[in-house]
A and B are shown apart, each in its own frame.
Chain A
Amino acid sequence: MTDTVLEVDSVTKTFPGVVANEDVSLTLDEGEIHCLLGENGAGKSTLVNMVFGLYRPDRGTIRVRGQDVYFEDSGDAIAQGIGMVHQHFQLIPVFTVAENIILGNEVTKGALLDLDTARRRIHALAERYGLAVDPDARVGDLSVGEQQRVELVKALFRDADILILDEPTAVLTPGEVDDFFGVVRSLTQQGKSIIFITHKLREVLAVADRITVLRAGKVVGSTTAQGATQQSLANLMVGRDVVFRVEKADADPGVPVVRVRGLRSQDDRGAETVTGLDVEVRAGEVFGIAGVEGNGQRELVEAICGMRPATGGRVEMLGEDITDWNPRRINQLGVAHIPENRSKHGVVAQYSIADNLVLNRYSQAKFSARGVRNTSAINAEAAALMEQFDVRATGASAALSTLSGGNQQKVVAARELTGELRILVVAQPTRGLDVGSIEFIHRQIIALRDRGVAVLLVSAELDEIMALSDRIGVMYRGRLAATVDAADATREALGLLMATGSSSATDREKQ
């Protein structure tokens, strides 16, 4: 018989205009991985934020090891051995890993920070749970996967034995996900208990002991991994049958409208990561770029969209040489861009939904005249788009930061997938979205393709690439190692190409 370490008992939480959690109950046993599932905005983050002391429940009780607890802030929760890795990381980029980890829990020697002791403890933790981190690296220089390990170490550093992980895998590459699950398993073996939020049903079935599904703030089901399938979970979450396969007709491609020739570009540290890349995308097709993250996909997308200078080569769109154009001009040509890093590039968190929906079109005649904003037109547009894309929020004037992560992504999608577009550049378009919303976004992308839009899709999800693309290019060390017809592509062949940059099978195909 295992002990229950955490009990959430009939908890209710409302925000103005929304019931985020209604009468939610949940238990977490020692050494257990308990998965929380639910649509975007179902209330998962709200629930765990209450457990971590960031929000206070309106009603209901939280018990830790049988004791009622009332947290005033996260400090109280930490004192009870609860740690959390947030959906949006909370690290300070200019500080080192060690500084970030001890922040708020400073190890001191007299009046001075005792970084040495901290470093030693970090090493010990890293060792014990298989979490490789370099205490002296600057957090801003780390990859997302590494930053996440830092967040985990930070929680463990404060002796957390109940860990809350809010969509930890959304931003990881497939390889990092495997490592991450290794860590999670070693954590539970050593007695830690974990609440794990994700939208990836495959992961749920792989690691969960128990699963609780939320819909519109209420618990709609609870099951074990053994008793569930992806389809049953998806249906439970969304409340209807979800189609996983993207229904699409064969593409009817036209002339090439994107022509990239010998493109070179550098990352923020000045290393050349796009090394003479050629690609052509035709009107009416989806060209998918697969590849292990860090092979230059980010720089490629930014260089194409005018956000990063090309150090060599040229980019042509719709017959124009746009190599040195700024993002506004490229956008006006009819090029939409869903950026990979939503919170960094795609939105202003403090702005209302409406202002985010016009972030790059505020100066169009529709939304302003002689430099003066037409607020009513902006709000009308926002209301329409929110309806069309099913953005769940209290209204167009709500701050974007009050939206659930998935709904924030829908705002970006709504902005970029509408309007007069001829070319669409999308990076990780469904990151953080629930299965229902993924289905919706995928359908939108295919609908645009069918209207003759050229789509360049970059995604770390091989499934997504394979489901949407008509042709697939595998990016390896800054170039396309191979281009294959989606119809002929297999997971295995693509995986091999991604890992090594070559495969005999595709070499034959190319001839």
Chain B
Amino acid sequence: MSRPGKAEAGITRASGHLHRLLTEAWRLQPLYVSLYAILLSFLIGGVLISMIGVNPLTAYWALLRGMVGNGERLAGSLARSVPFIGSALALALPFRAGLFNIGAEGQLLAGGLTAAYVGALSWMSDVPGIVAIPLILIAGTMGGAAWGGIPGVLRTKTGAHEVISTIMLNSVVLFAARWMVGSRDPVVLRDTDSTVPRTDPIADTAVLPELVDSQPVLHTGLFALLGLCVVVAFMLNRTNFGFEIATVGLNPHAAHYAGMNVNRVIVLAMAAAGAFAGLAAASEVSGTNGHLQPGTFFLMGFDGIAIALLARTKPVAIIAAALLWGSMLSGAPLMQQEADMSIDVVRIIQALVLLFVAADAIVRYLFQVREQGQQGQSPFQAASVEGAV
């Protein structure tokens, strides 16, 4: 009784079946929201495309071929995806500690600037690659870590909310980079031989070896970021630090009671986030561009937020989500060529994905409703049986 219409019940039941299929048969429980989100977004995207008068199947087919149509496109898609892994991890790790890091955009740039500066130091060309490459990667990592650590310190010392401080720090580093890279008088980091604002080219020894000459180039930075995912997954799942992060994120009072240093965890989590972004940036500067332009990482940090939320902040799922994200962006031009569909459609679909995924996560985050029925975030969270409560 007291149930609305039969039709509605039918729909509920049908989606219930789909749901059960996804959760039980495929054991993807924590990720089902994400799979729904992707499915739904492509459906809505298809409707939009057909409203413009293009056959969505044609458009999507072109998109798919653009993404993975041949070896070179596949490599290009991979290359495009690699840095997203870093920027997504930069959201994911603090998220586990209950922190919302909006600052990957700035942390990328901070890491990129240090990497570009160190890579272009005059003595870099005198040291062998085996030294120079780690140096440039470490420099970027440290630069990002320092920039990421600041909002952590601000949060613990003054209570400034990291959402606000990371947004502001994004602007600070963006304008600082524009000036440092753009200014001719005085010259700070600008390559004065170049007509566009960019830093001096890095030493040849500091360039990450290329794997495939695709567009963009697929280079060995891929291994650095895949390796990072494994390390972060291990850290979150198997170490005491991961346990502390999860405890601080789920119940900071209990963390305090249990003798964990909550402030230390907050600062370290933010610094680690910055480090991940910094490593991604250094790998791009070193392997893809050979220099830094102020706009190089434009939107990469914000895309990282979407990717991390799509992957429910799980490091291994982040690899898959970053691949999807990057290859959609790299496949879009072919869709534009063949189906005459603006590449913005891809951006719209991505925005929809984020909307569907985040509506859930962000609302919960902002209202701090963490106790009930929330799942799939901490590795230590035991599977809760029966979603009813």
A residues whose Cβ falls under 8 Å from a Cβ of B: 15-16, 49, 54-56, 67-72, 76, 79-80, 92, 94, 307, 326-331, 337, 339, 344-353, 355, 359-360, 362-363, 368, 371-373, 375, 397-402
B:58-99 near A, CB below 8 Å: none
Q: Which residues of B contact A345 (CB under 8 A)?
A: 253-254, 256-257
The closest CB in chain B to the CB of A71 belongs to B2
B388→A56 contact, CB < 8 A: yes
Given the complex of chains A and B, what is the CA–CA distance between A16 and B153 in angstroms? 45
**CB contact between A327 and one of B3, B246, B256, B380 (< 8 Å): that residue:** B256
Given the complex of chains A and B, what is the CA–CA distance between A326 and B262 in angstroms? 11
Q: How many residues of B contact A (CB 8 A)?
A: 36
* B250 on the A face (CB < 8 A): yes
* B100 on the A face (CB < 8 A): no
A355→B384 contact, CB < 8 A: no
Given the complex of chains A and B, what is the CA–CA distance between A402 and B371 in angstroms? 12
B258→A402 contact, CB < 8 A: no
A-B contact list, 30 entries, CB within 8 Å: A49-B388, A54-B389, A55-B386, A55-B389, A67-B1, A69-B1, A69-B2, A70-B3, A72-B3, A76-B2, A80-B2, A327-B259, A328-B261, A330-B259, A331-B259, A344-B253, A345-B257, A347-B251, A350-B250, A350-B378, A351-B250, A371-B239, A372-B238, A372-B239, A373-B239, A397-B382, A398-B382, A399-B383, A399-B384, A401-B371
The closest CB in chain B to the CB of A341 belongs to B253
With known contacts A350-B250, A372-B238, A362–B384 Cβ distance under 8 A = no
The closest CB in chain B to the CB of A344 belongs to B253
B240→A363 contact, CB < 8 A: yes
Q: Which residues of B contact A400 (CB under 8 A)?
A: 382
B254→A344 contact, CB < 8 A: yes
* B381 on the A face (CB < 8 A): yes
* B223 on the A face (CB < 8 A): no
**CB contact between A351 and one of B256, B259, B381 (< 8 Å): that residue:** B381
With known contacts A70-B1, A339-B257, A360-B259, A402–B384 Cβ distance under 8 A = yes
**CB contact between B258 and one of A54, A327, A352, A368 (< 8 Å): that residue:** A327
Given the complex of chains A and B, what is the CA–CA distance between A315 and B91 in angstroms? 42
**CB contact between B382 and one of A76, A307, A350, A368 (< 8 Å): that residue:** A350
**CB contact between B240 and one of A307, A329, A371 (< 8 Å): that residue:** A371
Q: Which residues of B contact A373 (CB under 8 A)?
A: 238-240, 243
Q: Which residues of B contact A67 (CB under 8 A)?
A: 1
Given the complex of chains A and B, what is the CA–CA distance between A68 and B3 in angstroms? 13
CB distance from A379 to the nearest CB of B (A): 12
With known contacts A92-B367, A307-B257, A349-B371, A362–B240 Cβ distance under 8 A = yes
CB distance from A167 to the nearest CB of B (A): 16
Given the complex of chains A and B, what is the CA–CA distance between A16 and B384 in angstroms? 11
* B170 on the A face (CB < 8 A): no
Q: Which residues of B contact A55 (CB under 8 A)?
A: 386, 388-389
The closest CB in chain B to the CB of A76 belongs to B2
Q: Which residues of B contact A402 (CB under 8 A)?
A: 384-386
Given pairs A15-B386, A350-B371, A399-B384, 17 additional interface contacts (CB within 8 A): A55-B388, A68-B1, A70-B3, A72-B3, A326-B261, A328-B260, A329-B259, A349-B250, A349-B371, A350-B250, A350-B374, A350-B384, A351-B381, A359-B254, A362-B240, A375-B238, A402-B385
The closest CB in chain A to the CB of B9 belongs to A72
* B241 on the A face (CB < 8 A): yes
Given the complex of chains A and B, what is the CA–CA distance between A54 and B388 in angstroms? 6
The closest CB in chain A to the CB of B369 belongs to A92
CB distance from A384 to the nearest CB of B (A): 19
* B286 on the A face (CB < 8 A): no
Given the complex of chains A and B, what is the CA–CA distance between A329 and B261 in angstroms? 11
**CB contact between A399 and one of B3, B243, B247, B382 (< 8 Å): that residue:** B382
Q: Which residues of A contact B240 (CB under 8 A)?
A: 362-363, 368, 371-373
Q: Which residues of A contact B3 (CB under 8 A)?
A: 70, 72, 76
Given the complex of chains A and B, what is the CA–CA distance between A400 and B251 in angstroms? 13
User: Which of B241, B250, B260, B382 has the most chain A CB atoms closer than 10 A to its own CB?
Assistant: B382
CB distance from A84 to the nearest CB of B (A): 12
**1/0 per residue B220-259: CB within 8 Å of A?**
0000000000000000001111010011001101101111
**CB contact between A348 and one of B251, B256, B369, B385 (< 8 Å): that residue:** B251
